[in-house]
Structure 1
Amino acid sequence: MLQKSSMKLLIVGATGTLGIQVARRALDEGHQVRCLVRNPKKPASSKLKEWGAELVQGNLCDARTLPAALEGVEGVIDVATARATDSLSIKEVDWEGKVNLIQATKAAGVNRYIFFSIHNAEKFPNVPLMEIKHCTELFLAESGLNYTILRPCGFMQGLISQYAVPILDQQGVWITGESTPIAYMDTQDVALFAIRALEVPQTEKKTFPIMGTRSWKAEDIIQLCERLSGKDAKISRVPLGLLRFLRSLTRFFQWTYNISDRLAFAEVLATGQPLDAPMDDVYQTFGLDPNQTTTLESYLQDYFSRILKKLKELDYDKKKDQKKSKKTPFKTNFDGSLK
């Protein structure tokens, strides 16, 4: 079933939350890894180089930079996506850039292509990122490349800034009026599926959902964080109408287009329909053990135990410093002169 052999891979989007885990997993599995990066001097790029990856400077949106990056490559793992604060739009990166990459991959004679989409992308044509992901899936399927499409729906890492940190800091936690259950997965586990796809012929020219062990509503995650942190959350609900207004407002300015397109994702969350899918057949196809997949409970337990331990250590050090500062650094004689 497995075709275990070292490959020379080009990973695009390797400096992102998921991409860096994909690169690390590929290196750990013994693959030769080349990463297409816009800025080789960024901390994430330096980390990749430190791990043993080869860095090639380039840009999806500049097709002229791609042939050199693809030279000698046997497989491409595409994890790139536009960020909300990016100077390039979602359309430029996630559509025009991906078309450039797929065409350049085919022209270079590289056959294997792993693409990350989003679960249920075809069901939300009015949400820019979802529509573009679905269109890219169709374009890839018609390209003639030997592809595998992986469709996660949410990463556990994003829950830290969304829920864990605000609760610890006693700041407000913002959630939408309608809470959609989402089957979040640890990016390390998602990365495992990406690398395993290269080794399993049964994954070729197919699309797979990549889901966590169960789906979670926002309220359930908040309750779990409260229990693990020992703190109460300050919850604020944002009406969907307000998010729609903010989306229309941010469309007025070119530099906020990405923010507007991300706000459109609220439409996905407003359906109340679980972002989940059966995974038994997927695990069987990939030859992976579902019992080895990280649960959200264990992920957050590990996070809070580490952060609370660190906070205790910092408080101990602070108290120790306070005690030292109370001691007189020099002893004096009765006349006030130093001993």
Structure 2
Amino acid sequence: MTLLIIGGTGTLGRQIVRKALENGFQVRCIVRNKRAANFLKEWGAELVYGDLTLPETLPLSFQGITAIIDASTTKSEDDTELLAVDWYGKLIVVELSKYTQIKRFIFLSILNSEKYPYITLMQMKYRVEKLIKDSGIPFTIFKYAGFFQGLINQYAIRILEQKPILNTVKSPTIAYIDTQDAAFFCVKSLSIEEAKNKVFITGSFQAWKSEEIIELCEKLSGQKAKIQNISIILLKILRQITGFFEWSLKISDRLAFIEVINNTQSFTSSIEYTYSILDINPTEILELDSYFREYFEMMLNLLENLNAGQLKKTKTSII
């Protein structure tokens, strides 16, 4: 089976490429910058130039393809570019998939995207979900609440650097997942017939509240977090105010997304069904406490070595 992976240079995408290659798939990646994506070629993937904003660059990538995994999401803060990539670009991808009779289209989305049309990214994800379901292409959709990797900047680094952490008074319980495990789910679903035309909610088996994550980071780092609590009501007011002004629309979107993450109890969704269909043992999946323990051990050892080196350098200069 030959896989076409879109978004292969991203944090999740590169893990999907690696996992697919490890499982014996032929992998082709659409990339805009071959030099920046050269590490994928070194792993064994084929690189083909393509740009979702330039439809004429895409058809060549689909020749001989059996399945597609779309892990792409623009990081631009420009809504025009977001629409060009995450909607119009995906329209072309779906049409090409229909034309070439792709056997499986795997799309990676965000949990509860259908509930927040006022957030541009969520709206685009939901629209593409509907587009794929209505296309007639055999599909599998994975919906994620968040990844371990994103929590490093949000919590761990801010604690180590003694910077304040923005936290809401009422926080939900969220089942985050490591990108390597998310890639494992994705690639494994290709070989499971029962996963066809299904939507899966995916996360690790243990869910966490933000205050629990902060406590864990404090324990592992030996440092006290600086927390700035904010109410959901204030977030809603700020979003409504900023939404009136064109120059502040991106601020409004960010506040809205914070509101979603921190006020949606349904982000804690049962994933037993996903694990059952994909025949995955929960003990095979990395949990957040183990992930953070490895991170802090590495960082604290690094800081200790840097401090020891600096002390040695200072003593040498004195002598």
Instruction: Report 1:149-228 matches (<5 A).
Output: 149-228=141-220
Higher helix share: 2
In terms of mean alpha carbon deviation, does 77-86 or 16-25 score higher?
77-86
- For the residue of structure 2 that corresponds to 1:106, the secondary structure is helix
The answer on 1:32 being equivalent to 2:20 is: no
In 1, the alpha carbon distance for the partners of 2:75 and 2:318 equals 49
Label 1:213 to 1:248 Cα distance change in 2 as closer, same or farther (>3 A).
Answer: same
Report if aligned partners of 1:178, 1:269 keep a CA contact under 8 Å in 2. Answer: no
In 2, the alpha carbon distance for the partners of 1:103 and 1:72 equals 16
The answer on 1:295 being equivalent to 2:292 is: no
Q: How many Å apart are 1:67 and its aligned residue?
A: 0.6
Counterpart in the other structure of 2:11: 17
Report if aligned partners of 1:211, 1:276 keep a CA contact under 8 Å in 2. Answer: no
In terms of mean alpha carbon deviation, does 12-21 or 118-127 score higher?
118-127
In 2, the alpha carbon distance for the partners of 1:242 and 1:324 equals 58
TM-score, normalising length: structure 1: 0.87
Instruction: Give the number of equivalent residue pairs.
Output: 316
Q: Which amino acid is 1:235 matched to? A: I
Label 1:273 to 1:195 Cα distance change in 2 as closer, same or farther (>3 A).
Answer: same
Q: Which amino acid is 1:275 matched to? A: F
Report if aligned partners of 1:113, 1:145 keep a CA contact under 8 Å in 2. Answer: yes
In 2, the alpha carbon distance for the partners of 1:246 and 1:13 equals 35
Counterpart in the other structure of 1:335: none
Identity %: 41
Label 1:123 to 1:220 Cα distance change in 2 as closer, same or farther (>3 A).
Answer: same
In terms of mean alpha carbon deviation, does 23-32 or 318-327 score higher?
318-327
The answer on 1:75 being equivalent to 2:70 is: no
**Of residues 248, 257, 264 in structure 1, which corresponds to 2:243?**
248
Counterpart in the other structure of 1:336: none
Instruction: Report 1:115-126 matches (<5 A).
Output: 115-126=107-118
Q: How many Å apart are 1:260 and its aligned residue?
A: 4.7
In terms of mean alpha carbon deviation, does 86-95 or 179-188 score higher?
86-95
Label 1:125 to 1:283 Cα distance change in 2 as closer, same or farther (>3 A).
Answer: same
TM-score, normalising length: structure 2: 0.92
Instruction: Report 1:40-189 matches (<5 A).
Output: 40-42=34-36, 45-85=37-77, 89-189=81-181
Counterpart in the other structure of 1:306: 298
In 2, the alpha carbon distance for the partners of 1:87 and 1:268 equals 19
Name structure 2 gaps, 5 residues minimum: none
Q: How many Å apart are 1:225 and its aligned residue?
A: 0.4
In 1, the alpha carbon distance for the partners of 2:204 and 2:76 equals 25
Q: Which amino acid is 1:33 matched to? A: V
Q: Which amino acid is 1:73 matched to? A: I
In 1, the alpha carbon distance for the partners of 2:170 and 2:235 equals 8
